[in-house]
Amino acid sequence: MKSRETLIRLKKFQVDEKRRRVAQIEAMIAEFERMAMELDREIQIEQERAGIHDPAHFAYPTYAKAAMVRRDNLKHSANELKSQLAEAKEALAEAFEELKKVELLGERDQLRERAQQGAREQAELDTIGLMTAREGARV
């Protein structure tokens, strides 16, 4: 029984770790997307300031070009993280299923133990009842 409790604690720890990993990846994706939107805004401001919106134009602002590269890199990183997020969610689901299986086995063991204990107690009461009945018949 002790080993089952230890196994349940281990599985809960694994689920919590995987849950933290999912949350961490989601936070990173959100941060990258927020930064990309901020860069989009800065690119727009720089284009308005220069009056040039075509990146191929010879006088296109250097800062806007650099911001576009950085924004594209952030979007690419966010997309890569999204695939990692899908894998992390799958791992979380598997860990959760394993935890549920172990918990169900633990509950089944507890029910079996209670049933056995109840049967032992009933057998003891039956024995006491028979002994009392025999003593009452002798008197």
| 49 domain-assigned | yes
User: Where in the sequence is the domain holding 93, given as residue range(s)?
Assistant: 2-103
pTM, rounded to two decimals: 0.72
| 135 domain-assigned | no
| 110 domain-assigned | no
Please give the share of the chain, as a percent, with pLDDT higher than 90. Answer: 65
What is the reported pLDDT for 139?
A: 60
Q: What's the mean per-residue pLDDT of the chain? A: 90
Evaluate whether 85 touches 25 at the Cβ level (below 8 Å).
yes
Counting the structural domains of the chain, the total is: 1
| 62 domain-assigned | yes
Mean per-residue pLDDT, 10-30: 96
Q: How far apart are CA 110 and CA 122, in angstroms?
A: 18
| 68 domain-assigned | yes
| 119 domain-assigned | no
Instruction: Report whether pLDDT(3) > 70.
Output: yes
Q: How far apart are CA 104 and CA 106, in angstroms?
A: 5
